[in-house]
Chains A and B, each alone.
Chain A
């Protein structure tokens, strides 16, 4: 069974069709890219998958379970986590607390356990704390643990956002333009980093990106979107030579690669 199966996904904003008949089958462990000019509907698809928007038509299945109609936190608890195009950390909270809250769906204690600090509460909080610190250590961010997220440099915030997404132990990670605002050096590091988290956490990764260098280098499969429609799909070499893709990008960037 594929990890994620999207069929005939369509979404309207008022009368405007933002996504039309989008299909995708994602196998466990894949690393795929979604590209397309600005306004092509890429982020909308992420929003549909994570439940921020409710799909107008079509179905999204995670390991056979329908996601359309579920609330975002439910979808998150089923194993999909994401980052955002513009950073959306909880700025006043410390990095550690940002990661801790991402464990929310694993909480099994009740309000009384909190108030009375019962063993059940203590045990789960300890587990959450340990897992959070473990992640901080793996991401080499432990010295930022008590720093409010908004005080961090931009590049670190980007990494913390990925770190936070890992807090919920996702099966599928959606990265929305992870390289936005980075210089070529940083992009190089980011590529290694993405590979590393996929292997380390046994993840499936689906990313949106404008930086062709990153997409072409690390994605095993790429889908190209224009005006809400899929115009191409394939391995990086195929995409680079696809005339429709070049045409779609000509207006914007002039060249692909």
Chain B
């Protein structure tokens, strides 16, 4: 196993992990504000990726405008979903909302399949031209760097919003006390909308970056990726955005290195998923509330 191989794997892990992380952020933010597992989030990621096809193939836009367009449109979709499907259930049992989210997810993926057909899509060749640089003897692809850097920037931007702005503070406060937030001069509805805008926007970005890195898009692409990112969010400690980001990276590293380190021992790459999930399971058993989650003591 040479050093170059390890560096490549490291980059692969960072790339995959940061994509998981971007999706996981949306799960964790919605959970933090509404205590709702938004099972439709993986499919929103898919819609984001598909809107990238719209931007690049139909409108012939370059990368950055496509990314922004997809983020904006997906964010609108996110808010609409919240208003139409989740808001009526805000005072119902949490379970109804979760089941509804499952339904919305199914609706998105199967609706997309029914309305657009089953052919796999990809972005045009000139969308991002792959180049490989030679840095200190290691070959590094521009796509990976782009994905990693962009993901980290988006995360830092989100972190700044959540930590520094009035809106972000209200967002963090709302999960502790629903009634205190209106006192700060922002309405609960506004905060929830903002949460969905940020979360779904990031999922759209992840969708497009995913399409650049793994260029096969289909309506079911969000299913597995979404559930995995969700698990990553939980492992990080759902409700905490740093946890979600780290959880995503962790999942990426586990998946890539299970394959990379397992190969010499005859563990084929198809063991990636079960081993990754088993590891995450162990983490949850040892730390039931995730890496960053705070155990809320049950009062007797």
Contact = CB atoms under 8 A, between A and B. Distances in A.
Whether A and B touch (Cβ < 8 Å) is answered with yes
Interface of A: 43, 47, 52-53, 84
Contacts, number: 5
B245 to A, nearest CB: 28
Interface of B: 300
Contacts of B300: 43, 47, 52-53, 84
5 contacts: A43-B300, A47-B300, A52-B300, A53-B300, A84-B300
Nearest to A88: B300
A84 B300 CA distance: 8
| Consensus secondary structure, chain A interface | loop
A43 B300 CA distance: 9
The list of the 5 closest CB pairs from A to B, nearest first, reads A52-B300, A47-B300, A53-B300, A43-B300, A84-B300
A53 B300 CA distance: 9
Nearest to A44: B300
Contacts of A47: 300
B83 to A, nearest CB: 32
| Consensus secondary structure, chain B interface | loop
A47 B300 CA distance: 7
A35 B300 CA distance: 18
Contacts of A52: 300
B298 to A, nearest CB: 9
A53 B297 CA distance: 12
Nearest to A43: B300
A129 B216 CA distance: 63
Contacts of A53: 300
Nearest to B299: A86
A180 to B, nearest CB: 16
B296 to A, nearest CB: 14
Contacts of A43: 300
Nearest to B298: A52
Nearest to A84: B300
Nearest to A72: B300
Nearest to A13: B297
B262 to A, nearest CB: 41
A77 to B, nearest CB: 18
A84 B298 CA distance: 14
A53 to B, nearest CB: 7
Nearest to A52: B300
A84 to B, nearest CB: 8
A43 B299 CA distance: 11
B229 to A, nearest CB: 34
A159 B300 CA distance: 19
Nearest to B297: A13
B295 to A, nearest CB: 12
A84 B299 CA distance: 11
A52 B300 CA distance: 7
A172 B300 CA distance: 19
A219 B300 CA distance: 25
A154 B131 CA distance: 73
B292 to A, nearest CB: 19
A143 B300 CA distance: 30
Nearest to A85: B300
A165 to B, nearest CB: 15
A53 B299 CA distance: 11
A47 B298 CA distance: 12
B299 to A, nearest CB: 9
